[in-house]
Amino acid sequence: MNAVKLLREAGYSELACQFAAYIARQQQTEDPLVTLSAGLLSEAISDGHVCMNLHEALATQPMFAAVIPETSQWLMQLQRSEVVGSEGEFKPLVLTENGLLYLYRYWQDEQQVAKSVLQRAKAVEWPLDKPALQSFFANWNSQVPGIDWQKVAVLSALRQQLVVISGGPGTGKTTVVMNILRALNVLEQTTEHPLRVALAAPTGKAAARLQQAVNQGSEQIYEAKTLHRLLGITARHDQGRYSADRPLPVDVLIVDEASMIDISLMALLLKSLPIHARLILLGDAGQLASVESGAVLASLCARSTGFSDGFRQLAFELTAIELAESSDKLPLQDCVIKLEHSYRFAAGGTVGQLVTAANQGDAARLMDLLTEFDSWQSFSNEQLQRQLTEGYQDYISAVESEKSVPECLSAFEQFRVLCAMRQGPQSVQAVNIMMERLLARRGWRTSQPYYAGRPIMVTQNDYRQQLFNGDVGMILADASGELRAWFQFAGELRQVPLSRLPAHETVFAMTIHKSQGSEFDAILLLMPEEDNALLGRELVYTALSRARQSVSVMASANVLQWSLQRKLERQSGLERLINHPGEAVAR
């Protein structure tokens, strides 16, 4: 068997083929099955998995059924290879007893995350000023029937060293952050030194939104940074500037949009935190996972962890909230809070109902609602052109009437086309081309590389310009008539000379992945006409939850149904390592 040839014939990426060839060269006597396994693993990692589960591999790789033996035989053959290591061995591949095959780097990252999470999953021995906190919670006017999970989340942040707060759109994650900061100010009165609090998010846009939100009406001004900037990650320092020996100078770190954090970045973050620091992660576990490998937030929220007797007693004492008893004593008990009440979507509101149906994978309900709200249509070029013209009408008017830069930027942010695919029909590329042709008919100079009104999205971090992957701006003239790139962060307007722009692209449409951390008044979800392995429930849910007011969907019934039936789960051993420590170890 020529493993590399088989991979190429099956349409695997060049990266997978080259890695398989590399592993073949590392073996004194090549075992084609080991070489093939390496190629399959490389492809799995490119698809966002942390590892490859050998027990499930054949179900997803039926084209190799004739050459891959029964799983127990496959495991034994890999175990005999000199390129496959056991726990503690520095080998290219690591195989666990329960049949998970890793690259050594990702196995190490996952072990680091699990170890750090378990170490931090405990109550902090900080004195609590109970009368002051009782007053704090009493003055917090709750408008939620039943348990106010926002209050429970804040209490957890005061008591635990690790807190994971998950909630859908409009459940008040930002409000929780603001109240955590206020509660920490109360807590600070009993500490010897002022608390060093840091705010961060994976992208520049998410960091800017977090900073703007927490500073509204706050006496203290907070700065939110990207995780890369916080950790000092640059092209020269890809592992950042901090470590266990030289930790971050923080006592409390609050990270928003945590679903976007991949396994390697999370490992680096946890390794860089001081032992005493508390980490508060916020995000939506139902959203798409990170672009890179792993689904850390989803793994942390995979089990309902419940609350200890001590936490329940404290919750009742400080907030008068009665929490249910928990029979299971999982390691993340008291650490995971799920916000359930949406403040953004009115009960029975259009977007709220659509988001709920998508999150539950209820295709029939979603299609019924889309039909009822007249928000669903099949794809046609004519319909897409009409939607683009109507959706971007305010933006077009603002640019053509030469409104101010903030007005143009604000008008553009009202609407966005979100695509499942980056290239091909019904893709980001196709929509951008169509929109520029529509604008050219109106006299816009879209044939030029830069034209007034061109919206752009940064695709590469630039630390000198403080522009980051995902930041959206617009090309507009300054007072002298010279075209410049304009960006707005937390209310601050910035201009960048065109010659200093990092890599960027036109952004009338963006992938659903890139839309994470953004919100628009209205969105158009554009799906491909054919089914694709990339389509899944999380993709549809993430897209719909970007909308504040209205949604329009262009997709066939079959594609919508297939997408909602498919849950895009990442293969990983993290959830087992955390909730069943000691079971998922390397052989």
Residue list for the binding site for ATP? 167-174
The token duo for 263 is: 């396994």
Query: Other CB atoms closer than 10 Å to residue 143's CB: what's the count?
Result: 7
The token duo for 419 is: 């695509």
Q: In what order do the strands lie in the sheet with 52-53?
A: 52-53, 100-103, 93-95, 84-85
Q: DSSP for 460-482?
A: S-BTTTTB-TT-EEEEEE-TTS-
Q: Which of 228, 302, 285, 144 is nearest to 469 (CA)?
A: 228
The token duo for 297 is: 């937030």
Q: How far apart are CA 357 and CA 314, in angstroms?
A: 36
| Three-class secondary structure of residue 18 per DSSP | helix
Q: Which sign does the torsion angle of CA 325, 327, 331, 337 carry?
A: negative
DSSP state, 100? E
In this structure, the strands spanning 336-339 and 162-167 are parallel
Q: Which of 251, 245, 247, 185 is nearest to 214 (CA)?
A: 185
Which stretches of 402-470 are DSSP H helices?
405-412, 428-441
* C-alpha to C-alpha distances, 541 to 164, 169, 285, 357, 516, nearest whole angstrom: 21, 10, 11, 9, 11
Q: Which of 115, 124, 150 is nearest to 331 (CA)?
A: 115
Structural contact between residues 572 and 106, judged by C-beta atoms closer than 8 angstroms: no
Q: How far apart are CA 149 and CA 161, in angstroms?
A: 18
Calculate the CA dihedral of residues 60, 109, 286, 487 and round it to 10 degrees: -120
Q: Which residues are annotated as a binding site?
A: 167-174
In this structure, the strands spanning 483-489 and 84-85 are unpaired
Q: How far apart are CA 273 and CA 269, in angstroms?
A: 7
DSSP state, 341? -
